[in-house]
Amino acid sequence: MTASKLLRKAEQLLARYPLCDWCLGRQFAILGYGLTNRMRGNALKTLLLLVSTETYQKDRKRGSTCLKRLAEKGMFLPALQFLEKEGITGITTVKQCSICLGVMEQLEEIANLAIQKLNGWEAASILLGSKISPDFVEREEQLRSELQIENGEPLKAEINREIGKIVIEQLDIPVDFKSPSIVVVVHIPSFTVELQVNSLFIYGRYRKLKRGIPQTKWPCRECLGQGCTRCKGTGKMYPESVEELIAAPLLEVTKGKSVKFHGAGREDIDACMLGTGRPFVIEIMTPRKRSIDLEAAIEKINQYAQGKVEVSQLRFTNKEMVKLLKSSSATTEKTYKVITQTEKPLLLEERQKLEAIPMPLEIKQRTPQRVLHRRADKVRRKQIYELTVTSLKNDKVTLLIRCQGGLYIKEFISGDNDRTTPSIAEILGKPIKCIRLDVIDVNLPEEELQR
């Protein structure tokens, strides 16, 4: 675009619409480098002033018309001062830009509101966004359509950028367009500010050392969490869970509102989780504090859990880790120690029969009856990689089973009325049941979790 065409377009804009420096300059946003739109708008008005004063010297009527337009609709003080110096009166300056309605002149005020809103919140990074009334967008789109403006940028983009620059500079917090700690949203024209606080994700491993504790909180089936006589007002089926024992100390130090617990699978309530522990991610919702001492947090959690649960290897992570844990839980190798009981003591040849099973062994397992109320009724194919008889005492048989994640071990032992086949009961040809179960390894290597 030539200089003459540029000035002609700016003149046409001001002939139809009162425009502040910001909104005039924004129509030419992709022209030039290192300039704000306010600088562009002011520069265009300054050039129009120079051209108009030259025209005024040659043709007072035509020049004064241009200068009046610049003073009135351009709200350009130097043009008004020139006309007053020349004794030209009757100038009515428009008080408000027709697109932004003065919002662009209040960016500092809006930024200060955002800064006040952020007080008391710790953030590693932020991102500023806005929700703008459609009226603003429609006015600018109409202007651009009428005058075929092709070099502009959206009002929303400029507001986000300019307020963001002020907030970031004053608070000395970096911007992050992909994963900010907090998204600050300003509402225009109400000048209200809301914070969208992103979750804090902490990875670790837990060991469950006491039976009878579920992994996550179970709402009472009777009252659905409201509190009743069955649950003694707690709203829960069980008094505590792995989730709650880990969450309580973390909520205290982060000042978060609530948590979501994401485990790499789960063990039965009556099973222990031993070995190096089960990988998990705890998602802390709306945390006010993020830079917590994780070593101190480990100690605090383990003290709070009083030997029921232990955590280790805590580190900060992100949402992608949750997806990785969920996607890997059905295929990750797990090792179980199972104490079983038969009606009659197992004979030596029966032990040998178990140890002679060719590996890997494919299991077809229909959803167990005990979990049909919460799992789809379908047949799953799972692999047994290793089965060893480690102890044989009368009617008690201890097995070490290494298998694919997602296999229901208790049903692999009992057969679950032939819903699992083959099963230990089927192979032995006699009833057998699991009386004690421990998970001793969840083989999800740390290098897999750090990809």
* Helix or strand (DSSP H, E) at 292: none
Annotate 29-93 with DSSP letters as a single string.
TTSSSS--HHHHHHHHHHHHHHHHHHHHHH-HHHHHHHHHHHHHTS--HHHHHHHHHTT------
Q: What gap in Å lies between CA 271 and CA 208, rounded to an integer?
A: 8
The residue type at 148: Q
Among 266, 269, 278, which residue's Cα sits nearest to residue 210?
Answer: 269
C-alpha dihedral over 367, 370, 376, 378, to 10 degrees?
A: 20
Contact 406, 439 (CB under 8 A): no
- Greatest CA separation for the chain: 119
In the block, tokens 């804090």 appear at 200
Q: What gap in Å lies between CA 27 and CA 81, rounded to an integer?
A: 26
The residue type at 371: V
C-alpha dihedral over 292, 298, 304, 308, to 10 degrees?
A: 150
Distance of CA 304 to the CA centre of its chain: 28
Distances (CA, A) of 232 to 113, 219, 299: 46, 12, 31
Active site residue 135: no
Q: What gap in Å lies between CA 138 and CA 155, rounded to an integer?
A: 11
> DSSP class of residue 342?
E
Three-state secondary structure along 148-178? Answer: CCCCCCCHHHHHHHHHHHHHHHHHCCCECCC
Contact 187, 145 (CB under 8 A): no
Question: Which residue in the list 21, 59, 135, 268 is annotated as catalytic?
Answer: 268
Structure tokens at 422: 């083959």
Residues identified as active-site: 268
